[in-house]
Amino acid sequence: MSSPLIDIKEIGRKYVIGAETIHALKSVTLQINKGEFVALMGPSGSGKSTLMNILGCLDTPTRGEYVLNGIKVSDMTDDELAEVRNKEIGFVFQTFNLLPRSTSLDNVALPLIYAGLSKTERIEKAQKALESVNLGNRVDHKPNELSGGQRQRVAIARALINDPSIILADEPTGNLDTKTSVEIMGLLEEIHSKGNTIVLVTHEEDIAQHAHRIVRMRDGLIEDDYPNPEIKNVSPRLAALKEKGSDFEGI
């Protein structure tokens, strides 16, 4: 069998503030294979975002080992890390993190600048990415001219633009109403069905039910890790394909 996409062993992350030491992650061991859809749950302060930041190479553990795609992250140079962050990892945040003065198209095209594509190629690719999240008619809008769900779809298009190995979404529906959250989850289902790997942090059981595996954290440790017995699908496109009995490749 091929090695897992994400392989972390006894990862710890502590913060020292004055005389106090906070063990945000005590010892976390986790493997995630290519194509998995994982929901990471747990109470506030249990270490979910800390773990996501480490998985996304935005932060370094204070102990333990992280092997991403067969490469030990601690052995990477700063340049290699920057490249991994840009090309291998797509981030989606609760607060969207879009550039406020830039259009949807420019926001989505931004990671392609660092990837070294020409302007024409960038525009063409970003346009396609926006169409794939159903925003082909909002390319020239700025974030404040979009609804919350549309902003999050722009952020998802941006996360997908470099065809990353893994998509890390930290409470992507945290700022959205229920109906819009369901829409975004439908989109993530479609992205997953195309073979993408997704790790999603959420507080809501309803949202976690869309994932295929559930990992629960508490006090910097993994408390539970099991396949979701009742996977919920909401994407109408996937439902239609399932009905026809076709697989999801090439949607």
Site of interaction with ligand ATP (CB under 6 A): 15, 17, 22, 24, 42, 44-50
Minimum Å gap between C-beta 33 and ligand ATP is 23
Minimum distance, C-beta of residue 217 to ligand ATP, in the bound complex (Å): 7
In the window 39-98, what residues touch Mg ion (CB under 5 A)?
Answer: 49
| Partner that binds at residue 150, options Mg ion, ligand ATP, none, CB closer than 5 to 8 Å by kind | none
Q: In this complex, which beta carbon is closest to ligand ATP, that of residue 140 or of residue 224? A: 224
Q: Which does 24 bind (CB under 5 to 8 A by kind): ligand ATP, Mg ion, none?
A: ligand ATP
Whichever of 22 and 82 has its CB closer to ligand ATP, that residue is 22
Find, among 76, 159, 153, the residue nearest to 111 by Cα. Answer: 159
| Closest separation in Å from C-beta 179 to ligand ATP | 23
Give me the amino acid identity at 49: S
Q: Where are the alpha helices (DSSP H) in 11-103?
A: 48-55, 78-87
Residue 41 belongs to what H/E stretch?
A: strand 37-41
127 binds, among ligand ATP, Mg ion, none (CB under 5 to 8 A by kind): none
- For residue 225, the minimal CB distance to ligand ATP (Å) is 16
50 or 196: whose CB is closer to Mg ion? 50
Q: What is the DSSP letter of 144?
A: G
CB nearer Mg ion, residue 49 or residue 173:
49
Q: In what order do the strands lie in the sheet with 221-227?
A: 89-93, 166-170, 197-201, 37-41, 213-218, 221-227
Tokens 């996501």, residue located: 52
219: which 2 tokens?
């006090």
| Contact footprint for Mg ion (CB under 5 A) | 49
